[in-house]
Structure 1
């Protein structure tokens, strides 16, 4: 009995030591740090609608996927997004665009009859993370007035230089999101004014 108790105690000690030695997990968000200005004195007079964003399959996971050298990527088990990257990008873009335009995102929300709504479709073709080098988002996006037939389709490539560490890498992606949101906001503002928008 004594040997059995001693063996159990040793096994428990080994398990506890293993748990204590495991590195902590860190969670990151693209929307955290996206500045949202105070509401505009005069409402925009239109809404936006930003459905789900699509991302490349290889980065559609909670772990940060980083490029370490040509053709090689690593999945970082202890460095994770707080939500799937498509959700992170969608929320961050929505916050940045609504903040820029002084409007709201009415996706899946009823609106008054006749209220102009600009639908934004976003397909992220590249989402690359190279710690100490760059954070890159390459997105094809389109804007269309709901109920209208004209569609403006453009591409934005935001490549941000970053310092060492994962905090700097995520901050670079936030800056990239802000740049893409600025391109989309400019197109919507131009369309809403009645002028012809271009990329």
Structure 2
């Protein structure tokens, strides 16, 4: 019995089939890859350049402590409200850093610009420097797409070298349009309002020298013991 030898396929055909197979594999991998993540920040949106600082030391310093946020939003993913008792964690919409870090950095930048001073948190400073420590505990950080962004925070300003302390609560709700950019901008605007209230408190405490302060009278500040009404 004899067996007929089948003709070999042309070498170019084999090479072409290999290329086609590899290309198909790459396309399949691309189809299965995760969507691109988008990253957001609460950094200041001010386009105005910061004025050059002189060599003169500021009248006082600030120390912005790390910010506490509710555990359910203390993650890189954006967490949005879908109802009074329901939230959705968005895997592709993410903060550039953890929300507590975003808030602290934005607050520090805003306060140093408004007060013409520097944030010395984690940095050594002269023993005779007047320093005001800013602490914030965010109790609610709610994101309602197409509706509003809400920040409910208790904050304090304390003169480091005395027992003088001012504790206040700010509740700010900013209306927002559709889209996640609008939602983040709403939180940024709310945080800017709170930073303006804190700046007023620092200025009031610094003005009277012993930290009793005088209120800015802005809507959204709820008086607590030690907070001017």
TM-score clears 0.5: yes
Residues 34-80 of structure 1 show CA distances to partners (whole Å, capped at 9, x for unaligned) of 56742577864000001110000000000000012231110000000
Q: Which has the larger radius of gyration?
A: 2
Secondary structure, aligned partner of 1:107: coil
Instruction: From 137, 145, 148, give the equivalent of 1:134.
Output: 148
1:36-55 pair list within 5 angstroms: 37-38=50-51, 44-55=58-69
Q: Structure 1: any 5+ residue segments left out of the alignment?
A: none
1:76-95 pair list within 5 angstroms: 76-95=90-109
Bigger relative contact order (CA 8 A; separation at least 6): 1
1:1-199 pair list within 5 angstroms: 9=22, 11-19=25-33, 22-34=34-46, 37-38=50-51, 44-194=58-208, 196-197=212-213, 198-199=228-229
Secondary structure, aligned partner of 1:140: strand
Provide TM-score, normalisation by structure 1. 0.89
Q: CA deviation at 1:89?
A: 0.3
Q: Report the number of matched residues.
A: 195
CA distance in structure 2 between the aligned counterparts of 1:34 and 1:146, rounded to whole angstroms: 30
Moved more, 96-105 or 32-41: 32-41
Whether the 8 Å CA contact 2:81–2:142 is kept in 1: the answer is: yes
CA distance in structure 1 between the aligned counterparts of 2:199 and 2:52, rounded to whole angstroms: 16
**Runs of 4+ deviating beyond 3 Å:** 8-13, 34-37, 39-44
Whether the 8 Å CA contact 2:149–2:186 is kept in 1: the answer is: yes
Q: Structure 2: any 5+ residue segments left out of the alignment?
A: 1-13, 214-227
Whether the 8 Å CA contact 1:34–1:178 is kept in 2: the answer is: no
Change (3 A) 1:44 1:158: farther
Residues 59-115 of structure 1 show CA distances to partners (whole Å, capped at 9, x for unaligned) of 000000001223111000000000000000000000111111111100011112211
